[in-house]
Structure 1
Amino acid sequence: MRLSRSFLPTLKETPADAQIVSHRLMLRAGLVRQTSSGIYAWLPAGLRVLRNIAQIVREEQDAVGAQEVLMPTLQSAELWKRSGRYDAYGPEMLRIKDRHERDLLYGPTNEEMITDLFGQSVKSYRELPQMLYHIQWKFRDEVRPRFGVMRGREFLMKDAYSFDLDHAGAVASYHRMMLAYLRTFQRLGVKAIPMVADTGPIGGDLSHEFIILAPTGESGVFYDGAFEDQDWLSEPVDIADRGSLGGFFQRMTSFYAATDEKHDDTAWAGVPAGRRREGRGIEVGHIFYFGTKYTASMGITVSGPDGQPVTPEMGSYGIGVSRLVGAIIEASHDEAGIVWPESVAPFKGVVINLKPGDAACDALCERLYGAAPQQMLYDDRADRAGVKFNDADLMGHPWQFVVGPRGAVSGMVELKCRATGEKREVSADEAFAQIAAWN
Structure 2
Amino acid sequence: MRMSRGFLPTLKEVPAEAQIASHRLMLRAGLIRQTAAGIYAWLPMGLRVLRHIEQVVREEQNAIGAQELLMPTIQSSELWRRSGRYDAYGPEMLRIRDRQDREMLYGPTNEEMITDLVGQTIKSYRELPKTLYHVQWKFRDELRPRFGVMRGREFFMKDAYSFDASYEDAVATYRRMMLAYLRTFQRLGVQAVPMVADTGPIGGNLSHEFLILAPTGESGVFYDAALEEQDWLAEKVDIDDHASLETFFNQVTQSYAATDEMHDQAEWDKVPENRRREGRGIEVGHIFYFGTKYTEGMDISVSGADGAPLYPEMGSYGIGVSRLVAAIIEASHDDAGIIWPASVAPYKAVILNLKPGDKQSDALCEKLYGHAPDALLYDDRNDRPGVKFNDADLMGHPWQMIVGPRGAKEGKVELKHRATGERFDLSVDEALAKVFAP
Alignment partners' CA distance in 1, 2:433 and 2:323: 34
* Displacement of 1:365: 0.2
Measure how far apart 1:435 and its partner are.
Answer: 4.1
Tell me the CA shift for residue 355 of structure 1. 0.7
1:189 aligns with 2:176: no
Kindly indicate whether the alpha-carbon contact (under 8 Å) linking 1:53 and 1:321 is maintained by their aligned counterparts in 2.
yes
In the TM superposition, what whole-angstrom CA distance separates every residue of 1:186-219 from its partner, at most 9, and x where no partner exists? Answer: 1111111111111111111111101011233222
Q: Tell me, what secondary structure is at the counterpart of 2:408?
A: helix
Query: Are residue 117 (structure 1) and residue 117 (structure 2) matched?
Result: yes
Letter in 1 for 2:343: S
Partner of 2:127: 127
Q: Which residue of 2 aligns with 1:86?
A: 86
Counterpart in the other structure of 1:246: 246
Contact 2:33–2:40 (Cα < 8 Å) also in 1 = yes
TM-score, normalised by the number of residues in structure 1: 0.98
Look up the equivalent residue of 1:183 and give its one-letter code.
Answer: R
Distance across 2 between alignment mates of 1:230 and 1:64 = 19
Q: For residue 112 of structure 1, give the secondary structure of its aligned residue in structure 2.
A: helix
| Partner of residue 434, structure 1 | 434
CA–CA separation in structure 2 for the residues paired with 1:437 and 1:307: 56
Hey, what's the Cα distance between the residues in 1 that align with 2:204 and 2:41? 34
Kept in 1, the 8 Å contact 2:399–2:435? The answer is no
Deviation at 1:436, TM superposition (A): 4.4
Structure 2 length-normalised TM: 0.98
**CA distance in 2 between partners of 1:179 and 1:436 (Å):** 28
Using the alignment, how far apart are the partners of 1:82 and 1:21 within structure 2? 43
CA distance in 2, matches of 1:236, 1:92: 42
What's the counterpart of residue 348 of structure 2? Answer: 348
Alignment match, 2:206: 206
Task: Give the SS at the match of 2:271.
Answer: coil
Q: How does 1:29-428 map to 2 (within 5 A)?
A: 29-428=29-428
Give the partner amino acid of 1:259.
Answer: T
Work out whether residues 196 and 259 of structure 1, in 8 Å CA contact, stay in contact via their aligned partners in 2.
Answer: no
| Alpha-carbon shift at residue 266 of structure 1 (Å) | 2.6
The amino acid across from 1:133 in the alignment is Y
Q: Does 337-346 or 429-438 show the bigger shift?
A: 429-438
* Secondary structure in structure 1 of the residue aligned to 2:4: helix
C-alpha displacement of 1:99? 0.7
Contact 1:349 1:375 in 2 (8 A): yes
What's the offset of the Cα at 1:228? 1.0
- 1:14-54 per-position Cα deviation (integer Å, ceiling 9, x unaligned): 00010000000000000000000000000000000000000
Confirm or deny: 8 A CA contact 1:361 1:408 kept in the other structure.
yes
Residue identity opposite 2:190 in structure 1: V
Change (3 A) 1:436 1:192: closer
* Aligned CA-pair RMSD: 1.0
- Separation (CA, whole Å) in 1 of partners of 2:281 and 2:433: 38
Give, in angstroms, the shift of residue 359 of structure 1. 0.6
Structure 2 distance, partners of 1:263, 1:246, is: 25
- Decide whether the 8 Å contact of 1:197 with 1:261 is kept in 2: no
The one-character-per-residue Cα deviations of 1:92-140 (angstroms, maximum 9, x if unpaired) are 0000000111000000000000000010000100000000000000000
Q: CA deviation at 1:220?
A: 2.7
| Whole-angstrom distance in 1 between the partners of 2:276 and 2:434 | 41
Task: Give me the whole-angstrom Cα distance separating, in 2, the residues matched to 1:53 and 1:230.
Answer: 21
Deviations 1:328-358 (A, max 9, x none): 0000001100000011000110110011111
Distance 2:287 2:279 in 1: 22
Q: Are the equivalent residues in 1 in contact too, given 2:348–2:436 (CA < 8 A)? A: no
Say if 1:326 and 1:404 are closer, same or farther in 2 by CA, change over 3 A: same
Provide the rounded CA distance (Å) in 1 between the counterparts of 2:369 and 2:165.
Answer: 54
Letter of the structure 2 residue corresponding to residue 23 of structure 1: H
The CA deviation at 1:273 is: 2.7
* Ranges of 4+ aligned residues in structure 1 off by more than 3 Å: none
**Structure 1, unpaired ranges of 5+:** none
Equivalent residues of 1:188, 1:341 under 8 A apart: yes
Aligned to 2:279, the other structure's residue is in SS state strand
Q: How many residues align?
A: 438
* AA in 2 matched with 1:124: S
Identity of matched residues, %: 76
